[in-house]
A and B are shown apart, each in its own frame.
Chain A
Amino acid sequence: MIGIINYGSGNILAIQNVFRSLDVESRVVNSASELNACHRIILPGVGAYDATMEELDASGFREALEIQVKEKGKPCLGVCVGMQILGSTSEEGGVRRGLGWVKGAVKKIPDLAKEGYVGPHLPHMGWNAIAPSTQSPLFSGVDADKGFYFLHSYYFEPAEPQHIDASVEYLGFRFACAVRNENVFGVQFHPEKSHDNGILVLKNFAEYRDG
């Protein structure tokens, strides 16, 4: 049973729809006690870092998640802002402390576009190719060139390079778009809105077994 934490985020239903289409059992988790029945956990997130952390703190999930994910070692996937809260701090808003499960900070995507570049700058909006780590269970079978749908101006920079699970390039800057620290995963793009690639990532998360 995959538990999708409900702290008011908008992509919960779409994530659930994908699991339903995969015949993977999932439920929306509204209270901390419901986490016991879940084997894997999703932290969704659309919007702003501070607002999301505020909702997470207010919901009373923080302590329960520490137990389920850090102590019990249940696999956890942070999606979009859900990936950004895995770290410690954020430049966006920047007041609230993140979960601290993957050492690193959220920063604004630097704009290294060359002189004479004609096109959009920030936010990073649309479909972009990714470069996944070869060992990543999450990206097994994915069409990396087709990539995923991105919609963000901030990115999560893990302090340790070995925690980078996939990278993406935009405006001349390559940065992490997926992270992994043991049982904790994060993806910056929207897997629930990235068609076949996205479905595959969610399927891989649901099924992977530690080698």
Chain B
Amino acid sequence: MLRSRIIPSLLLHGGDLVKTVGFDNEVYVGDPINAVRIFNEKRVDELAIFDIGVTPEATAIDFDLLQDIASQAKMPLAYGGGVRSKDEALKLVKMGFEKVSVSSAAIRQPMLLKEIALAIGSQSVAFCLDVRRAKQAGKYDVFQSRGRVRVDADLVALCKTAEQCGVGEIILNSIDRDGTMSGYDLDLAKLVRASVRCPMTVLGGAGSVEHMALLEQAVGVVGAAAGSMFVFKGKNRAVLINYARPGQS
């Protein structure tokens, strides 16, 4: 039977591994290559790399670092961060990334997802949405530019459009839960699970394998991604790259 994917999520900024809380309070975690090597040893299901420093105005995608990562990673790899064109997506896939995640660029232009899907195959295209709970209960606001700019669009509508455009996976990133290790936003997960048929990955809030088990109970087989949980240990959040799956002691 297909199993849920337990996915370490690594944030890059300026070539370093970093971590945030609520997309803020960035702290230095370590060297990304070192983390990849440790996750190789731990035989992780998948690895997601997000570069939060890429901006259209100033900073380009760090293809050199990504090539380095891809050449060492023994697990399926996904990359997101500033992907705005089919050519960039192709370059990433040819480098060894199994999946490319698009966010802001696809919110502005959903047809980009279709273009990329035709070039690299639907299975390799993910649509990532950064969200916060809205004032209205059960509603969510979608954001661009690392949580700074609110998008005037409905979360579910965006997801459905993306699926129509051939996206292979939806990645939900809860800004509220980011770095809190207080559990996934299960309402968010259920809302989107009921709206699309493609695979879904949830990120933001995972603090334990119990949280991951609860997520699977709520939405079925799923991608359970985690940042803080797999790079920190203990109350003082000492850096320790680690990995675990539900059902393992």
Contact = CB atoms under 8 A, between A and B. Distances in A.
Contacts, number: 108
Interface in B178-224: 193, 197-200, 219-223
A9 B97 CA distance: 11
Contact of A10 (B95, B198, B220): B95
Contacts of A118: 193, 219-220
Given A124-B2, A151-B76, A190-B76, A119 B222 contact: yes
Contacts of B2: 120, 124, 126-128, 150, 170
Interface string B113-138: 00000111111100000000000000
Interface residues of B, number: 40
A10 B121 CA distance: 12
A193 B70 CA distance: 11
A129 to B, nearest CB: 7
B139 interface: no
Interface in B201-249: 219-223
B51 interface: no
A1 interface: no
Contacts of A129: 1
A14 interface: yes
A46 B96 CA distance: 9
B3 A126 contact: yes
Given A10-B96, A13-B71, A46 B200 contact: no
Contact of A193 (B1, B74, B197, B222): B74
Contacts of B43: 195-196
B87 to A, nearest CB: 13
Nearest to B91: A10
Given A13-B70, A151-B76, A125 B199 contact: yes
Nearest to A151: B123
A122 B197 contact: yes
B222 A17 contact: no
B58 to A, nearest CB: 28
Contacts of A120: 2, 197-200, 220-222
Interface in B67-83: 70-71, 73-76
Contacts of A117: 220
Contacts of A153: 122-123, 168
A119, A120, A121 — most chain B CB neighbours (10 Å): A120
B123 A152 contact: yes
Nearest to B198: A120
Contacts of A125: 5, 123, 168-169, 199
A127 to B, nearest CB: 5
A94 interface: no
B198 A121 contact: yes
A117 B198 CA distance: 13
A33 B246 CA distance: 50
A10 B199 contact: no
A159 interface: no
A169 interface: yes
A128 B94 CA distance: 25
B199 A123 contact: yes
B5 A126 contact: yes
Given A13-B71, A195-B74, A119 B221 contact: yes
14 contacts: A10-B93, A10-B96, A119-B220, A119-B222, A120-B200, A122-B198, A123-B199, A126-B223, A127-B5, A150-B2, A151-B123, A152-B123, A153-B122, A195-B43
Given A47-B120, A125-B199, 4 more contacts: A10-B96, A120-B199, A126-B46, A149-B45
Interface of A: 8-11, 13-14, 17, 46-48, 51, 117-129, 149-153, 169-170, 190, 193, 195-196
